[in-house]
């Protein structure tokens, strides 16, 4: 393994650790939003159930599907090839990191919905369901370092006339 390949692996590792930390932080926030929502409901007591939470479920479903579609579209091999050709391998690493952050942030919005539904007549089941959906979407966006490394290795080897790190 050459020095530039080792540097490339180090950069992927650093980017992956950053993405991993952010996805776990977003997941923790979703858990906190859900817990705060349940705490508010327990302190406030039972309120009449309205049909208002249905739009929250629809919004959560659209956000969940949107997050998954966004991630799959941005991590498709054709898209990665375009990114690598335009921005090089360093740009590819940044793209992988940005896609993971955006998809996980969308999952956190679902977690925020778990808290907001409390103020619009939602009950304990609504909060828990929305929190679980947010966590599932967040964990689906969990970055896989081996996949990132394979993509970076592939595109660094196939980029004609360019050093893997732009050196």
Split at pLDDT 50, 70, 90, the class of 164 is very low
CA atoms within 13 A on the CB side of 60: 28
What are the C-alpha distances in Å from 120 to residues 11, 20, 63? 45, 33, 19
Distance CA 78, CA 144 (A): 19
What are the C-alpha distances in Å from 155 to residues 58, 70, 84, 143? 39, 21, 7, 18
Segment 63-73, tens digit of pLDDT:
999 999 999 99
Distance CA 57, CA 136 (A): 15
| In the chain, % of residues over pLDDT 70 | 89
pTM of the predicted model as reported, rounded to 2 decimal places: 0.84
Distance CA 112, CA 90 (A): 33
Of 14-18, 41-45, 106-110, 163-167, minimum mean pLDDT range: 163-167
Segment 18-62, tens digit of pLDDT:
999 999 999 999 999 999 999 999 888 756 566 667 889 999 999
DSSP line for 98-147: HHHHHHHHHHHHHHHHHHHGGGGT--HHHHHHHHHHHHHHHHHT---HHH
């Amino acid at each position: 393994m050459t020095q530039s390949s080792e540097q490339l692996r180090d950069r992927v590792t650093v980017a992956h650790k950053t993405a991993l930390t952010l996805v776990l932080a977003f997941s923790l926030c979703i858990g906190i939003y859900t817990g705060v929502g349940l705490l508010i409901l327990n302190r406030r007591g039972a309120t009449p159930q309205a049909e208002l939470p249905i739009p929250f479920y629809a919004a959560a479903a659209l956000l969940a599907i949107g997050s998954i579609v966004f991630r799959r579209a941005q991590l498709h091999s054709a898209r990665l090839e375009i990114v690598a050709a335009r921005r090089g391998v360093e740009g590819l690493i940044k793209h992988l990191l940005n896609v993971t952050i955006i998809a996980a942030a969308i999952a956190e919005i679902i977690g925020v919905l778990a808290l907001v539904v409390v103020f619009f007549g939602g009950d304990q089941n609504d909060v828990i369901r929305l929190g679980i959906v947010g966590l599932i979407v967040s964990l689906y966006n969990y970055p896989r370092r081996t996949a990132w490394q394979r993509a970076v290795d592939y595109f660094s080897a196939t980029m004609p006339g360019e050093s893997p790190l732009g050196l």
